Structure 1
Amino acid sequence: MDRRLTDAQLQRLVAEVQRLSDRHQSELGTQDVQDILQQLDLSPEFLDDALVQLKRQDALVVQQRRRRRLMAGVVGVVALGLASWLWLGSRQQQQLAQVVAQGDRITLSQDDGGNLSQVTPQAGGSELVYRITLADAPVGEQLALSCRWSDPSGQVVHQNQYRTQTITTPVWPTYCRYTVGPESPKGNWTVEAFLGDRQLSDATFTVD
Structure 2
Amino acid sequence: MNQRLTQEQLNQIIAEVQGLQLRQESEFDKPQIQQILQELNLPPELLDEALIQLRRRQALEVQQRRNKLIAFGVGGAIIIAIVGTILFNQQQSSLLANVSAQQDKITLADNRHLQTISRQSNSELFYRVTLKDAPIGKKLSLACNWIDPSGQIVKQNKYQTREVTTSIWDTFCRYPINPTAPVGNWKVEMLLEGRKISEETFIVQ
TM-score, normalization by structure 2 = 0.93
Q: What is the alpha-carbon distance in structure 1 between the residues aligned to residue 198 and residue 2 of structure 2?
A: 91
> What pairs with 1:66-81 in structure 2 (closer than 5 Å)?
66-81=66-81
Aligned residue type for 1:174: T
Q: Please state whether the residue corresponding to 1:89 is helix, strand or coil.
A: helix
Q: What is the alpha-carbon distance in structure 2 between the residues aligned to residue 12 and residue 98 of structure 1?
A: 67
Q: 2:199 is matched with which residue?
A: 202
Q: 2:5 is matched with which residue?
A: 7
Q: What is the alpha-carbon distance in structure 2 between the residues aligned to residue 197 and residue 11 of structure 1?
A: 76
Q: 1:86 is matched with which residue?
A: 86
Q: How far is 1:198 from its partner?
A: 1.5
Q: 2:54 is matched with which residue?
A: 54
Aligned residue type for 2:186: W
Q: How far is 1:12 from its partner?
A: 4.5
Q: What is the alpha-carbon distance in structure 2 between the residues aligned to residue 117 and residue 53 of structure 1?
A: 91
Q: Please state whether the residue corresponding to 1:7 is helix, strand or coil.
A: coil
Aligned residue type for 2:64: Q
1:143 aligned to 2:140? yes
Give runs of ≥4 in structure 1 deviating > 6 Å.
none
Aligned residue type for 1:51: L
RMSD: 1.6
Q: What is the alpha-carbon distance in structure 2 between the residues aligned to residue 10 and residue 156 of structure 1?
A: 92
Q: 1:38 is matched with which residue?
A: 38
Q: 1:117 is matched with which residue?
A: 115
Q: What is the alpha-carbon distance in structure 2 between the residues aligned to residue 194 and residue 164 of structure 1?
A: 13
Q: What is the alpha-carbon distance in structure 1 between the residues aligned to residue 67 and residue 10 of structure 2?
A: 41
Provide, for residues 49-73 of structure 1, a one-character-per-residue CA deviation record: whole Å limited to 9, x for no partner. Answer: 0000110111111111111111111
Aligned residue type for 2:54: L
Q: How far is 1:153 from its partner?
A: 1.3
Structure 2 gaps, min length 5 = none
How many pairs does the alignment contain? 203
Q: How far is 1:196 from its partner?
A: 2.1
Q: Please state whether the residue corresponding to 2:171 is helix, strand or coil.
A: strand
Provide, for residues 1-54 of structure 1, a one-character-per-residue CA deviation record: whole Å limited to 9, x for no partner. Answer: xx4322146554444333322211111011111111111110011100000011
Q: 1:182 is matched with which residue?
A: 179
Which range moved further: 14-23 or 72-81? 14-23
Structure 1 gaps, min length 5 = none
Distance 1:192 1:104, change over 3 A: same
Q: What is the alpha-carbon distance in structure 2 between the residues aligned to residue 15 and residue 4 of structure 1?
A: 21
TM-score, normalization by structure 1 = 0.91
> What pairs with 1:162-177 in structure 2 (closer than 5 Å)?
162-177=159-174
Q: How far is 1:111 from its partner?
A: 1.3
Aligned residue type for 2:100: V
